[in-house]
Amino acid sequence: MQEIVSDSEAMTLALGARLAGMLPSGSVVALVGDLGCGKTVLARGIARGLGIAEAVTSPTFTVAQEYRRPNGEYLYHLDMYRITDENAALAFGIDEFLFQPNAITLVEWPEQIAGLLARPSLRTIRFRHLDENRRSITFENWPAID
């Protein structure tokens, strides 16, 4: 399993922008890790890399944020923190945001809806706090990142 240690918010942003180029349309990426470990920062970097100029804010309260890419496709940024279980997610309409051929979807707190994400194509990124500005970032089901 590949690990990248990020030393700064700027490095995590740049990593996200690099990862954007590795995500085919239809991809769903699970962003796993504690509060404040950089999931939203990485999502912001991925959005930049996908050509999205709009400010990317945390979807903690809105649950889902939708961004239009210059190519006409979408980036969906989901935060399941306040969604207690899969039934709540389905009632919210989560299906419209997952595994859509014309979208890339990033999911914070994916553990909450693990059953809905269980597909072989799911890509996972795990974050761990090392210290104030360093984060361990590991990748599952990704091609090699150079």
Ligand X SMILES: Nc1ncnc2c1ncn2[C@@H]1O[C@H](COP(=O)(O)OP(=O)(O)O)[C@@H](O)[C@H]1O
Minimal distance, residue 76 CB to ligand X, in Å: 16
Among 2, 3, 25, 35, interactor with ligand X by CB under 6 A: 35
Question: Which of the listed partners (ligand X, Mg ion, none) does 68 bind, with a CB threshold of 5 to 8 Å by partner kind?
Answer: none
Rounded-to-integer distance, Cα 115 and Cα 34, Å: 20
Cα 53–69–123 angle (5° rounding)? 105
Is 77 an interacting residue with respect to ligand X (CB under 6 A)? no
Is 17 an interacting residue with respect to ligand X (CB under 6 A)? no
Among 39, 77, 123, 135, interactor with Mg ion by CB under 5 A: 39
Classified as helix, coil or strand, 74 is strand
Question: Which of the listed partners (Mg ion, ligand X, none) does 45 bind, with a CB threshold of 5 to 8 Å by partner kind?
Answer: none
Structure tokens at 102: 């014309």
Q: Provide the sign of the torsion angle of the four alpha carbons 80, 120, 146, 4, taken in this order.
A: positive
Which residues make up the interface to Mg ion (CB under 5 A)? Answer: 39-40, 58, 108
